[in-house]
Amino acid sequence: MTTHAVVVGSGIAGLTVALHAVEHGCRVTLVTKDVLDHANTRFAQGGIAGVMFDDDRVEDHIHDTLVAGAGLSDREAVRVLAEEGPARIRELIDIGVGFDRGEDGGFVKGLEAAHSYPRILHSGGDATGTAIEKALVARLRASRVDVIEHAFLVDLVVDGGRVRGVDLLVGDREATVDTAAVAGRRGIVAADAVVLATGGAGELYAHSTNPAVATGDGIAAALRAGADVRDLEFFQFHPTVLAAGASFLVSEAVRGEGATLIDETGRRFAFDAHPDGELAPRDVVARAIAHQMDLQDGRPVLLDATHLHGDDPEERAAFLARRFPTIDRAVRERGLDWAREPIPVTPAAHYLMGGVSTDLFGRSSLPGLYAVGEVACTGVHGANRLASNSLLEGAVFGARAGDVIASDAASPDWPAAAGQSARPAGGEPSGAAPAGDDRVDVPPFSRAALQELLWDDAGLVRDEAGLGHAASVLSLWRTQSREPHTELEYENENLLVVAEQLVGAARARRGSVGAHYRRDDPVTSAPIRQEAVAC
């Protein structure tokens, strides 16, 4: 009998799962909460990391990933990522992704923070995610995969201890309570396997690089179904987001080209935090910026690209427009001329390293349920993701999940290792989190109030007082009676579920490490030097 797999999500991870699963004989239905090509993947600017050059080494990519992960990465997951990454990149090339090439016909090399080698491939300068998304969507439309757009995951269907399908709300995202019954319809799609590829939860925070669809839906559904999650305390904040107009990420590749971070006096301050300065791991650079902003009464720092590509500002402007067309357009739309003057930047929530706990084939602790991409946690990123490993993760582990779904369905037993990838030594949170203080003034619940709460109390820098306050507010919000009817209301409830888990994990991990930085115990957060991690 043909295995029916439902894939929820249409970024690089979900599309890769679907294409691989259908090649292995599965009947695949892909559902997405927006249109097919509107996923977080298309916003990825910097590129995809992989060992694609003769003078680079897999061992060096492994080493860099482990260093960035601050000692908490699962080494086997990292090895899988680095070893299988080149084949997945070549697969993308085969389906039509045109990575940028130089005059000699070879791939253009890009350098990003915490990489020891310029192994980043990009497409269209800073439009890599868009190029990958378009190519995968085109291949999917030509395949036998069925697609349901505007389909929101309400919950997983669990029967007999196994996931048996998905409960969907299909309809108008903008429906109101009064029109929900007309504009949307509920329906169950039965399946032999369900793959969560729903992305992260950037909407938890007031300032985020993520699109509005990143509301933690897959994590919340997995939690309600009883699946294990891990490492939700590790939320990466991107160091450089334009501090003018709506949030817009300025890729790490800009600093890789040589742009510098300066304070209001013009001083390069990043070397105060790490010997690699602007190209230190993201968590270090983001905190260095936040610290400098505190010294400047909250005013943003400046990203200076005015020394790139010679002394002629016209030539520099042409170079920036050619190398970073998407960023250049966004900068100029805000009335800024980054060829002639530094531009204001600030950190913002970017990427969730934790998620649904899986093995190295995407299997969760709940039979029949898989998770891939940002919604999943294989342990590959540890406490801090290495730049440009996210697209690679979606491709590598998406392919692995897609390759085993049919054979797993034919087996009477869910593999014993599912969801049990070991946490490295020293990675367990130290003890249970203390209870929050219920004596707290609680504002009415809204998404904006939730976002401000997490930004203030569980953001880039945390402490027990703030986390305890957040836990109390979240707990009281959860006791209030709210019955969701529309997609936006379901999203809000999902964000609340994930927020509680994130704050609880952050309170339990009392020591600082990687992206989880506690001002009340900062000693263990000192940067891990390159030589500290051996492969």
Q: Where are the beta strands (DSSP E) in 127-285?
A: 146-148, 151-159, 162-171, 184-190, 193-196, 229-230, 235-242, 260-262
Task: Say if CB 59 and CB 37 are below 8 A apart.
Answer: no
Six token digits for residue 36: 């097919």
d(CA 494, CA 326): 32
d(CA 223, CA 382): 21
**Catalytic residue of the set 139, 164, 282, 509:** 282
Six token digits for residue 276: 């690699």
Six token digits for residue 477: 């919000």
Six token digits for residue 500: 């509680």
Six token digits for residue 471: 């836990």
Q: What residues does 8 pair with on adjacent strands?
A: 31, 196
Residue whose C-alpha is closest to residue 75's, from 89, 84, 65:
65
Task: Say if CB 130 and CB 147 are below 8 A apart.
Answer: no
d(CA 219, CA 509): 20
265: DSSP letter? T
Contacts of 386 by beta carbon, 8 Å cutoff, 6+ apart: 49, 64, 65, 68, 69, 114, 115, 281
173 is catalytic: no
Task: Say if CB 196 and CB 229 are below 8 A apart.
Answer: no
Q: What residues does 162 pair with on adjacent strands?
A: 159
Contacts of 63 by beta carbon, 8 Å cutoff, 6+ apart: 116, 530, 533, 534, 535
d(CA 275, CA 287): 15
Task: Say if CB 76 and CB 69 are below 8 A apart.
Answer: no
At 180, phi and psi to the nearest 5?
-60, -40
d(CA 222, CA 229): 8
Sign for the CA dihedral angle at 149, 248, 250, 220 comes to negative
Would you name the residues annotated as active-site residues?
A: 282
